Amino acid sequence: MYQQIVKVLGVVRLKHIFRAFISPLHTIKVLKYHYRRVSEREFVHFLARSQGYSAGAVEQAYKDFHSHQSLWDEVEEKLTLYPNSYGLQMTRERPALYVLTRLLKPNIMVETGVSSGATSTYILRAMQDNGGGRLFSIDLPPDNLPQGHTSGWIVPESLRSQWVLKLGDSKELLGPLLHELGAINCFLHDSLHTDEHMLWEFRTAWKHLRTGGLFLSHDVGASEAFFDFMAEQHIPWSSYRVFHVLGGFTRV
């Protein structure tokens, strides 16, 4: 508790105090975002513990992650086609997603938002290491893709056997996909970060997420949707963590 309070105070500025008087409800949601922000290892260990995995299992998964350094270097090299090597991709969060996928061994995982496919590559590499699992991805191709490339172009051919990529608006594709799949083990949102769209995706996916499934969303500080959804589902503050801008919790 003390450490979390120190972290919150470390980001508080006078402008935040001023805004708190103007919009107290919004300030509480911002506080929730910062209150549970932790390091990558803390984020992974917290979610792993909620799934019954030991600290030793986490460290072994990290060893597996480091054994693929040549692949991660290849991904970074491809991303240099973009200014600042960004390309609408997750950056710091990708190792955590590999490790969590490696540990949880989801049979069926659904993600919205692919862009060039750097994040998908990390997840698919973990699934291949697991010897099973399928990733279903939905992407509305962004305008900034390199000329001649389409969504997921970074994903190596060797990892595509466990991947199904659907191109189009998640508003049109997510519902039918989930209906076809029935139940899923993990959901990851990383598409349009507006309150309306995020809440729609969260509510749609939640109906199909198994008990014990992992619920993840990128850019949880971009809108109030993540915390509004948690309130809808009566998910307590103690049940989630945020690493950088990736929020996550286990469905109980």
Average pLDDT of the residues in 178-197: 97
Q: What is the average pLDDT score of the chain?
A: 89
Least confident of 54-68, 82-96, 179-193, 206-220: 82-96
* pLDDT classification of 185: cutoffs 50, 70, 90: very high
Return the CATH number at 56.
3.40.50.150
3-state SS assignment for residue 236: coil
Distances (CA, A) of 84 to 72, 78, 88, 144, 222: 17, 12, 11, 13, 21
Q: Would 29 be classed as within a structural domain?
A: no
Residue 160, burial from CB neighbour count under 10 angstroms (0-12, 13-18, 19+): middle
Q: Which pLDDT score is estimated for 224?
A: 85
Provide the domain count of the chain. 1
- The mean pLDDT of 58-73, rounded to a whole number, is 98
Tokens in use for 91? Answer: 């950056």
What's the rounded Cα separation, in Å, for the pair 108 and 157? 20
Segment 191-201, tens digit of pLDDT: 999 999 999 99
Q: Answer whether residue 126 is part of any domain.
A: yes
Give the length of the chain. 252
Residue 41 domain-assigned?
Answer: yes
Within-domain flag for 196: yes
Percent of the chain at pLDDT exceeding 90: 73
What pLDDT is recorded for position 246? 95
Q: Judge contact between 187 and 159, C-beta under 8 A.
A: no
Query: What is the strand order of the sheet 163-167 is part of?
Result: 37-38, 240-243, 246-250, 209-218, 184-189, 108-112, 134-139, 163-167
Q: Mean pLDDT across the stretch 120-135?
A: 98
Q: How big is the CA angle at 55 (ends 251 and 189), to the nearest 5 degrees?
A: 35
For the purposes of burial, counting CB atoms within 10 Å of the CB of 79, is it exposed (0-12), middle (13-18) or buried (19 or more)?
middle
E-state strands within the chain: 37-38, 108-112, 134-139, 163-167, 184-189, 209-218, 240-243, 246-250
Residue-level pLDDT at 44? 98
85 falls in which pLDDT band (50, 70, 90)?
low
- CB–CB of 235/206 below 8 Å? no
Helix (H, G, I), strand (E, B) or coil at 215: strand
Q: Give the domain extent around 61.
A: 36-250
Domain membership of residue 2 (yes or no) is: no
Asked if residue 53 belongs to a domain, the reply is yes
